């Protein structure tokens, strides 16, 4: 029941996208040559810690308004036609940022978006009443953190700072906002100087 799920909030785990950022700006991904690409690992994402450069960024106070901007409906209960999870890591200057709980959840109105978080694990729940594709850009819009090829929130590329986005350890080219959220994907958004170690997988809890 939605009301109960919202009240217990962080008790439920969700799929997460990994965002890794290693600089002070930028919001998209830039290709790197094989020689300069960071090494990947299958270990779980590091424990979130505060980061500099205007981060971390809290969950918006008006989840319903942000969902509308993202083109997403607010539902009375989680959908079950599509029920998958991704994991998001955000790395800024080599440090892991917290992905807040309750993104996409309007506690006051007892409404919930098909894309949401229940806790700070970085697991993104994709729970829709219809089959559809959902994107990283929609999730970041709900979070109110801009993501483009050269910007991550207030952080811009340039001056030695780069922005790269990886899915399961593989760097993605093109618009990072267009990346689809798929089952058990590890999405890492990395901002900063080149060389940050990028996670290639996430250890999802049993049953998630």
Q: Convert the pLDDT of each residue in 100-141 to its tens digit.
A: 999 999 999 999 999 999 999 999 999 999 999 999 999 999
Nearest to 128 by CA among 72, 80, 87: 80
Task: Tell me the pLDDT of the chain (208 aa) as tens digits.
Answer: 443 344 434 333 334 334 343 333 333 333 333 333 444 443 333 333 333 345 579 999 999 999 999 999 999 999 999 999 999 999 999 999 999 999 999 999 999 999 999 999 999 999 999 999 999 999 999 999 999 999 999 999 999 999 999 999 999 999 999 999 999 999 999 999 988 899 999 999 998 9
As a residue count, the chain comes to 208
- pTM beyond 0.95, yes or no: no
Residue 126, φ and ψ in degrees, nearest 5: -115, 100
In sequence order, which residues have a C-beta less than 8 Å from that of residue 167 and are 6 or more positions away? 179, 185, 186, 187, 188
In sequence order, which residues have a C-beta less than 8 Å from that of residue 180 and are 6 or more positions away? 133, 134, 135, 136
Contact between 198 and 39 under an 8 Å Cβ cutoff? The reply is: yes
- Whether residue 56 is preceded by a cis peptide bond, meaning omega within 30 degrees of 0, is yes
For the chain, the distance separating the N- and C-terminal CA atoms, rounded to the nearest angstrom, is 18
In this prediction, residue 20 carries a pLDDT of: 42
Task: Give the other-Cβ count within 10 Å of 77's Cβ.
Answer: 14
Distances (CA, A) of 131 to 12, 36, 82: 22, 38, 6
In this prediction, residue 56 carries a pLDDT of: 77
In this prediction, residue 55 carries a pLDDT of: 52
Residue 65, φ and ψ in degrees, nearest 5: -65, -40
């Amino acid at each position: 029941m939605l009301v109960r799920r919202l009240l217990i909030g962080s008790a439920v785990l969700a799929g997460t996208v990994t965002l890794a950022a290693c600089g002070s700006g930028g919001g998209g991904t830039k290709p790197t040559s094989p020689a300069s690409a960071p090494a990947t690992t299958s270990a779980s994402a590091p424990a979130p810690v505060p980061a500099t450069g205007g981060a971390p960024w809290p969950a918006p106070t008006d989840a319903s308004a942000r969902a509308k901007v993202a083109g997403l409906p607010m539902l009375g209960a989680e959908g079950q036609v599509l029920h998958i999870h991704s994991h998001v890591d955000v790395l800024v200057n080599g440090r892991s940022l917290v992905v807040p709980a309750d993104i996409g959840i309007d506690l006051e109105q007892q409404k919930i978006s098909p894309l949401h978080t229940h806790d700070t694990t970085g697991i993104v729940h994709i729970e829709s009443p219809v089959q559809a594709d959902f994107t990283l850009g929609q999730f970041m819009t709900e979070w109110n953190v801009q993501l483009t090829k050269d910007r991550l929130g207030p952080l811009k590329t340039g001056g030695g700072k780069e922005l790269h986005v990886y899915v399961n350890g593989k760097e993605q080219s093109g618009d990072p906002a267009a990346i689809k959220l798929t089952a058990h994907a590890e999405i890492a958004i990395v901002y900063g100087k080149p060389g940050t170690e990028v996670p290639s997988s996430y250890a999802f809890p049993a049953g998630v």
